[in-house]
Structure 1
Amino acid sequence: MTELTLPVDRRTPVGARCRVGVIGLGYAGLPQAVAFAEAGHRVIGVDSSPRVTAALRDGHSPVDTVPDDRVCRLGETLSVVDDTEALADCSAVVVCVPTPVDAAGEPDLTALRAACGTVAAHLRPGQLVVIESTVYPGVTDTVVRPVLERSGLVAGVHFGLAHVPERVDPGNPVFDSADTSRVVGGLTAVCALRAAELYGGVVSSVHITGGLREAEATKVLENTYRQVNLGLVHEFAAYCDALGIDAAAVIDAASTKPFGFEPFYPGVGVGGHCIPVDPLYLAHSARAAGTPLHLVELAQRINDERPVRVADLCDALLGTAGTPLDGAEVLILGVSYKPNVSDIRNTPVVPLIRELTARGVQVRIHDPYVPELVVDGHYHKSVSPLGAAIAEADLVLVAQHHSAYDTALLHRARLLYDPRRHT
């Protein structure tokens, strides 16, 4: 590819203290916007949700992983706007909108196309456009680029275009956005260097790939790796159950090896925005290329079926205790998709509740971070007091390991099932 020199806007160079637009202020976009603002950039935030924008204007964070006081300290350094014309004054615009899958499990780029249309409406020479939204390889060049070039400007000539996949892990106490290396791919080498300059001021390190597609593929590989390993461990757990082996004890033992093994533990399924979604983007791209990834698709099916397997085990445990599943009361502890956060995106607890309810179970829930969970129009409110609810239930199922669920509390249960520690 011939590399072209981009005109540089000397008034607001990317990497120095400049104005940065961020479109999408959710679990990925808001931490990034805050990081840019804390580094001294003037940040213009845009989000399609009135709830999100209203909360931020009132000094409240719409996501639990960014504290309110962190937002309040920024003052006018982070401005949330409805008038997207302010994006024209930005040296860089970062797109962090969701890229889910549709009902058929195919990539849904609706929000990404809309966001890029907004950028195109205000695009000016010298700007840098960065896509953080997860996509399959080729989207930034073949889907995003044509939308942006409706502005009459040419990517790589009049404006920069780069892909920097988000690497947010909500609730991770060790690694935050500043401590996590970022991968940068550009349409041209100059595009990549400009994006690296921007992110280099807010993260620990930057890795520049050979192009856009390598950066796009990095993200889907990272989460497919986790999906495949979780599929393996869920099948291994079922195998151990058939032989009366403690799967968790085996995983713990294997974890003592200091090389060549990383532990993954069974659960009630796989949730979040990344692991249940990103491998489907990779599988879609692979089928289109004529090289289907059978292992990836199989792992997806195994993990999708895990809530049914968990319901089967609840049935078996209750049967052993002499309690029929139909009419039994099962208390599910933890409904978010990961520990110590309120994020319920794609939580496997929803299909688990569907499965248990279909079998006649009276399901109750508790989660210190989620006051209620709506499943098929039915509101499941978090029970209180927790101790009494645990003692009353026929079976207590630990779906998520929140730190609030200590061993002494769980020992009050008549019958306890923890998929992570027992299959």
Structure 2
Amino acid sequence: MSTLRQTLTREIPSLTGLRGLAAFWVLLYHAWANATPRVIEIGSGPYALNLTIAFSGGWTGVDVFFTLSAFLLTLPFVQWQMGLAPRPSLGTYWVRRILRVFPAYYAQLAVLLLLAGAFGIGVWPDARRLIGNLLLWFNFGSSGVAPINGVAYTLPIEFCFYLVLPLLALLLRPRWWVLLALLAIVETQLYRHLMFDPAAETMSKVLVLEQMPGRLDQFVFGMLAAYAYARMTVAGNLPHRRVSDALFLAGVAGVVLMLVLMQLGFEAYWQGSWLLYVWHGATGAAVALMLFAAAAGSGIARVLLANRPLRRLGVISFGVYLWHPPILEWLTAAGVFDRIEGYRLPWSLPILLLATVLVAELSYRLVERPMLRLGHRRGAKTAPATEPAAAPQA
């Protein structure tokens, strides 16, 4: 039993690398948009390969983050349900979740406020917006406020999932998991259909429909992937490496298919297209398949994702995610890219990536790592090494 528990709490290098890739993908999207979006093609004429979707679809990295987070955080609860470990302490769970998000977020918020107040870089928020940013009050309809850092809108979505995860994990049992899957799908569809008409304007629809209840299915698919992985590990019937490779490629193909469908139908998306109701869930299911396959030992996943650069990027991914938008804004305002002739993305992207990685490393070393160590002093024996808070250095 101890051996099985160690297997389920070990770091999965491919998943650490996938987290790094997701952070880079979001950064790539913003760099592409800032450089004046255009069609990205290799070759010319009828043989040209259009790769634009790889750039314009970079916001899908957020979907990867959500499903991956659900997978990793579910593993300790699955171990408890299977009798491999004590019941996770909810107190420890909450301490770790808070220390994982708020110290790094508040440190950045302090820097942004200092720059705005002392040097006029950025905009100083009014009292309502400041309080809303301190409380992460972003995704709550007309009562919400605009985040000072745009990407922070995703933090309350994930934090709401943290609230319900311990309850949802009670259904991770034989036969009950089907009920969990149906509950998530039905709830997501009901929420999106019922809340579509009340939110008249497109921006209102974004604020309302992108709350956690409208994306619960993709979180739950990550949970179910973790449950399947743990069950098959204990039973000793994980799929053969070739099967894992096939499953991983199927998941990748699923993500690509959803991106292509979105590119073809994006104009009708917020008008009530069928994609509005299934896109996040279907993409989450494809990502969950990738997670299961990578954890089960896919050689392709290991080659693509478990390399040293991506794993290190995965360790500092939260800082990369948080810091790249303001850094891009500062570099642009300072005219760093103005002297670049022609299409500037090939030059602006490496500059942005380098600057972001340096700042993210500082954030990790000075803020995140000390806080994570503090959080893991409690119940260290039950902490999975695959949890984002415990990802080891590459």
- Between Structure 1 and Structure 2, which shows a larger proportion of helix residues? 2
Could you say which structure has the larger radius of gyration? 1
Give the TM-score, by structure 1 length.
0.23
- Between Structure 1 and Structure 2, which shows a larger proportion of strand residues? 1
Greater RCO, CA 8 A, separation 6+: 2
